[in-house]
Amino acid sequence: MKNDTRENFGSKLGAVLAAAGSAVGLGNIWRFPIETGQNGGAAFIIVYIACVLLLGIPIMMSEFFIGRHTHTNTAGAYRKLAPGTQWKWVGRLGVLSGFVILSYYSVVAGWTAEYTVLAVGNCFEGKGPDTFPAIFGEFVSNPWKPLVWMFAFMIVTHVIVVRGVKGGIEKFSKVMMPALFVIMLVLTVCSVMLPGASEGLEFLLKPDFGKITGSTVLSAMGQAFFSLSLGLGCLCTYGSYFRSDTNIGKTALNVALIDTFVAVMSGFIIFPAVFNAGYAISSNDIGPSLLFITMPNVFQQAFGSMPVLSYLVSVLFYFLLVVAALTSTISMHEVVTAYVSEEFGMNRRRAAAIVTVACSVVGVFCSLSFGPLDGARLFGMSLFDLFDYVASNIFLPVGGMFVSIFTGWYLDKRLMRDEITNHGTLRVPYLRLVVFILRYFAPIAIGVILFNQLGLFRLF
């Protein structure tokens, strides 16, 4: 079943950092604080962590071993393991989700690049709270500027993907992930030392369980899948580049820990500063514009009396976002590129070019939904919001549910045991728990949360 001409990650650390690079992204630094802010703070974080532990890690292990066992792209993997069945559609749904997410994700990624340039040019200095909505509004509604940045982001992603798994993705992640940690550490220290930080910390650490509703649980689950890059075969594709001695359980645990740590750290960067600047936690301040209206103003107010610090914090923050976004866009691009290249027998370069062009075209519409297409609504949402809602709250959980049913019920248990224990050479005491979760807990929990929220039946 193995295809020897296929590349692998060069080292175990490289594999962990590449997968963590995929997981750590705008989901952690942009989406997680927004969801936390809108869903009541600490209580949301607890539900989120439960989703990561009970659903995220077992499903991640499944994606890894499906990929490593089949050594092929995610759609090909299901075809190989379940020939002649409809399971191939799970892989295809994953490729579609990767395509959809990449298209709107690269729009926001482009904004982070524009804001890095603004921060480097010291354009925020001395500006008051009223100016930032206008700066952002003018930028996103400009018909060209956001598109140029989106294309630029797509091209950089393209170049890294074309360089291949070891020379492009792994090499980039090995340099950028440690850089990302250092930047986060510096920003966290700056933020928690601000006067008034304790209010922000309390919001993150003191749970109010009364705030947990059905939609909080769905949001936490959607966020966990999005943040861990689960349910669309991204980690299945990366798993297909793992070497045979990679410890799948340990890698999944490390990736989940790194990802959750970064998400919580983003909270520690953002909320103390937001509270310091006197913002109320409401959906206006903690919406998609959080990073582009609220944060630049927060940096001015919080560090404004120390212009050098304010400058450095702004530059580092937006650069951090660019790096985090890039390690994620390359992973989504890789899912679709590997699929096009392997399923249609094309070389990587050509496949990557097709993916870049197709995603850019769809991205144009997502980007314009903030400007010239502002009024256009589908199911009451802008194209951008619709893509984000459908992909993370529906496609990814549905993908995750099918992955667990596939590994828990369809596949021979011996195959899972062999892959997770590296053919009996590793001791994996929690294997039975993982099997139980995949067979019973994950499909039922995801199904109930999903159907409840979609209104197909109401339990809570």
Q: Which residues bind ligand PFF (CB under 6 A)?
A: 22-23, 25-28, 98, 101, 226-227, 229, 232, 234, 328, 331-332
* DSSP at 406: I
What is the rounded distance in angstroms from the CA atom of residue 229 to the CA atom of residue 392? 10
Which residue's entry shows tokens 């982070």? Answer: 112
Residue number of the CB closest to ligand PFF reads: 27
User: To the nearest whole angstrom, how small is the minimum distance from the Cβ of residue 15 to ligand PFF?
Assistant: 16
* DSSP at 376: -
What is the rounded distance in angstroms from the CA atom of residue 78 to the CA atom of residue 66? 8
User: To the nearest whole angstrom, how small is the minimum distance from the Cβ of residue 142 to ligand PFF?
Assistant: 25
What is the rounded distance in angstroms from the CA atom of residue 327 to the CA atom of residue 416? 29
What is the rounded distance in angstroms from the CA atom of residue 255 to the CA atom of residue 248? 11
User: To the nearest whole angstrom, how small is the minimum distance from the Cβ of residue 156 to ligand PFF?
Assistant: 16
Residue with Cβ nearer ligand PFF (98 or 443): 98
What length does the chain have? 460
Residue with Cβ nearer ligand PFF (27 or 58): 27
Residue with Cβ nearer ligand PFF (102 or 293): 102
Residue with Cβ nearer ligand PFF (103 or 331): 331
Which residue's entry shows tokens 């909320």? Answer: 271
User: To the nearest whole angstrom, how small is the minimum distance from the Cβ of residue 417 to ligand PFF?
Assistant: 27
DSSP states along 144-182:
SHHHHHHHHHHHHHHHHHHT-IIIIIIHHHHHHHHHHHH
Radius of gyration in angstroms for the set of CA atoms belonging to the chain, rounded to a whole number: 21
Phi-psi region of 206 (alpha: psi -120 to 50; beta: other; left: phi over 0): beta
Residue with Cβ nearer ligand PFF (119 or 234): 234
> CA 266, 147, 101, 72 torsion: positive or negative?
negative
Residue with Cβ nearer ligand PFF (177 or 277): 177
User: To the nearest whole angstrom, how small is the minimum distance from the Cβ of residue 28 to ligand PFF?
Assistant: 5
Residue with Cβ nearer ligand PFF (124 or 387): 387
User: To the nearest whole angstrom, how small is the minimum distance from the Cβ of residue 188 to ligand PFF?
Assistant: 18
User: To the nearest whole angstrom, how small is the minimum distance from the Cβ of residue 144 to ligand PFF?
Assistant: 26
